[in-house]
Amino acid sequence: MKHPLVGSPWGRHHRNILVELLEMNRYTLLGALGWLLPIGIGGMALDQPVATAANPDHVTRLIETRTCPDCDLREANLEGAYLRSANLRGANLQGANLNGADLREAYLGLADLTGADLRNANLLRANLTRAVLNLARLGNAIVTPETVIADKWRLVHQFLTTGVGGVDLTGMDLSHANLDGVDFSDQDLTEANLAGSSLEGANLNRAVLDQANLEGANFFLADLRTATVTAANLQNGSLRAADARAADLTSTNLEEADLTQAYFETATLTQTNLRLADLSSANLVAANLTDANLTRSNLFLADLQQANLTGALLGETQLTGANLTDSTLSLSALSRAQLEAVISERTDLAGVDLSGANLSSINLNGSNLAGANLSNTDLQDSNLANTTLIGANLQGANLNGTDLRGANLTGANLQGADLRSVNLQTANLTEAQLIGANLSSADLSSAILTRTDFSGANLTDASLEFASLEGIQFSRGTNLCRTIMPDGDVHRCSE
């Protein structure tokens, strides 16, 4: 299956990040091989955390005698090892590489095989009574009816090797299982327990996971298109770079989940708990996030075009660089959100209170901000062209270098605002209050300045060429030094 990120404009933009994620995922255990060395800076070695490796004496004993009960064999490389009839009772084999090992008739009772690689291993008549096989890789291992192994892990092996078949998966306990790449498409996993499991690259297309326990589960690069995952618990789980287009995640708990690079286009996330979730660079185009809780979530560079955010909670949300064009927002929910460089063209923000917010470099082209409270807001270098700011409060706002071409600022309060180098070409400032504002080098050419109050304003080097000045108000404190007047004349500076 071709992943939706590949070849798309959004995918090309984030391809390098995705590759980095893949590499990080593939090699996170590299340090466990003991290859980490201290890093020297200026001749001083800094101690680096090194993953615990196997006891070399124990490894030697096992290879030479095939008897090593209770041995420390963590991360040991035993690929293809001849361990027939070996005694490994209670041995610690966490993360060990046993790929292709001969473990016929081996005794592994009470052994800890967490995260071990048992792919292609021969477990004919092996005894794994009460062995721990959490996240162990069992694909293509030889497991026969004579192999003593818990039913749960026998099923996991079956799923990995021959497929799900006609097994009833509803309510099944598959917690902490390694199910990477398993085809669960069209399967009913309602109320199944997949907590702590790994389903990297698994196919869950059209699967049903309603009320499933997915806490801490890993769905990296999984296919969840049109899957139903309602009222499920995926807290602290991962859907990193997963394809969840058109999936239904209504009322699911995704608190603190890793959703970076996830593809949620047209997905339903109504009343979903996304508090503290990482949605950086996620694709949420046309997603339904009605009444979702996005408090303190990370939406850095997320694409939320046409998303429905009605009633969504966005308090203290990181929205830097996010694209909110044509989306709907619950205006009262933007409290203390980080909105730098946000793209939100044609958005209805009428009456929003963003006073004191940092909105530098934001793109609100064509948006409705009528009656908005933007007092003391940082809007420098922003795109506010063609916006509606009728009656808006911009007192003390920083609009340095902002594009306000064609904006409607009728009756707006801009007292004390920083409007240096602002572009107000063709803007409507009828009855706007610019008392004490700094408009040095501002471009107001062809602007409508009917009854605009410039008392005490600084218009040094500003351009009023072709502007309409009917009923305009200047005061003795208005600075018109080198201002280009409507007729093209340059106003002389006062002595």
Q: What is the DSSP string of 268-303?
A: B-TT-B-TT-B-TT-B-TT-B-TT-B-TT-B-TT-B
User: How confident is the model over 383-407, as a mean pLDDT?
Assistant: 97
pLDDT score of 125: 98
The answer to whether residue 27 scores a pLDDT higher than 60 is no
Phi, psi of 160 (to 5 degrees): -75, -30
pLDDT of the residue at 163: 95
Mean of the per-residue pLDDT values for the chain? 89
- Confidence band for 328, pLDDT divided at 50, 70 and 90: confident
- Looking at residue 188, its pLDDT comes to 98
Backbone dihedral angles phi then psi of residue 408, each to the nearest 5 degrees = -105, 105
| pLDDT number for residue 49 | 34
Judge whether residue 55 has pLDDT over 60.
yes
- Residue 14 pLDDT exceeds 60: no
55: tokens are 């006891």
Lookup: tokens for 445: 């050419």
Of the pLDDT bands very low, low, confident and very high (cuts 50, 70, 90), residue 196 is very high
CA atoms of 150 and 299, how far apart (whole Å)? 43
The pLDDT tens digits of the residues spanning 422-461 come to: 999 999 999 999 999 999 999 999 999 999 999 999 999 9
- Residue 29 neighbours by CB under 8 Å, 6+ apart: 51, 95
> Is the pLDDT higher at 5 or at 414?
414
* 16 phi and psi angles, rounded to 5 deg: -65, -40
Contact 338, 358 (CB under 8 A): yes
65, 45 Cβ separation under 8 angstroms: no
Q: Is 166 helix (H, G, I), strand (E, B) or coil?
A: coil
CA-nearest of 363, 380, 357 to 325 is 363
Cα angle at 268 between 267 and 274, to 5 degrees? 100
- The DSSP element (H or E) to which 308 belongs, if any, is strand 308-309
Which comes out higher in pLDDT, residue 10 or 90?
Answer: 90
Q: What is the DSSP track for 226-267?
A: T-B-TT-B-TT-B-TT-B-TT-B-TT-B-TT-B-TT-B-TT-
Where is average pLDDT lowest: 44-48, 110-114, 272-276? Answer: 44-48
> Quick check: 41 pLDDT over 60?
no
- 343 — pLDDT class (breaks 50, 70, 90): confident
Domains and CATH numbers, the chain: 52-162 (2.160.20.80)
* Residue 37 scores a pLDDT above 80: no
Residue 239 pLDDT more than 60? yes
Q: Which two tokens stand for residue 310?
A: 């009605």
| Amino acid 173: pLDDT | 98
Q: Which residue has the tokens 């287009």?
A: 245
DSSP string covering 334-372 = GTT-B-TT-B-TT-B-TT-B-TT-B-TT-B-TT-B-TT-
pLDDT of residue 79: 97
